[in-house]
């Protein structure tokens, strides 16, 4: 994921350098600033991945909604422009489905963004047949969803699977077999914050 930041930074520096030569060196300053911002924005820190039958956060950010229903719980995580934007698998297992859906680019923190915005839904099934779905959702500024995972791939808990560029949201759908460990307003980190634990593991 760091390579993406290097790509944008290089383009910005080249454009700024060319403009500085043709116009004035001062004209290159905004491009240099943007290049440094890209290197920072696309940072990809290592994370300590918890062990055991847990579901970890697929994204850095703030939990803006925990919607509990008898058959499932939805957890919505909003990423602002300051958050790390690398997305990770919430559980380990086989990716059984990846579904991309075009859509709008409204503010990702709004509830209707879950179904109205451009999104990419990934379904993972673990060795026990437990299924977790998580959805990368584009936002007002984010206009590109990157997903490097495809159906048939096997992932480990907390493994990097992609990113969403420049602010967005990730929703996670968990079944009734999970005990939720987080609440609205809480800050979470991709790969290291436990969202939920398998109910039988808490006994």
Distance CA 130, CA 90 (A): 12
Which residue intervals of 23-72 are DSSP H helices?
Answer: 29-41
Distance CA(41)–CA(84), nearest Å, equals 7
The answer to whether 168 is a known catalytic residue is yes
Tokens matching residue 200: 């039988």
Residue 125, judged by CB atoms within 10 A of its CB (0-12, 13-18, 19+), counts as middle
What does each C-alpha distance from 7 to 38, 74, 78 come to in angstroms? 9, 35, 25
Catalytic residue among 12, 57, 109, 168: 168
Catalytic sites, residue numbers: 168
């Amino acid at each position: 994921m760091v390579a993406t930041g290097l790509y944008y930074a290089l383009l910005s520096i080249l454009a700024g350098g060319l403009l500085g030569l043709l116009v004035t060196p001062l004209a290159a300053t905004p491009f240099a600033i943007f290049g440094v911002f890209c290197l920072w924005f696309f940072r990809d820190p290592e994370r300590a991945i918890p062990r055991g039958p847990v579901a970890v956060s697929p994204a850095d950010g703030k939990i803006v909604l925990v919607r509990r229903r008898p058959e499932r719980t939805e957890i919505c995580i909003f990423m602002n422009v300051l958050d790390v934007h690398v997305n990770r698998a919430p559980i380990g297992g086989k990716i059984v489905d990846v579904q991309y859906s075009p859509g709008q680019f409204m503010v990702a923190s709004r509830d209707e963004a879950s179904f109205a915005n451009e999104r990419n839904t990934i379904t993972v099934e673990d060795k026990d047949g437990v299924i977790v779905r998580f959805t990368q959702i584009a936002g007002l500024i984010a206009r590109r969803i990157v997903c490097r995972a495809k159906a048939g791939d096997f992932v480990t808990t907390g493994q990097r699977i992609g990113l969403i560029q420049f602010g967005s949201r990730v929703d996670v759908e968990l079944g009734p077999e999970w005990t939720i460990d987080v609440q609205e307003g809480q800050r979470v980190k991709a790969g290291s914050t436990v969202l939920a634990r398998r109910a039988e593991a808490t006994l």
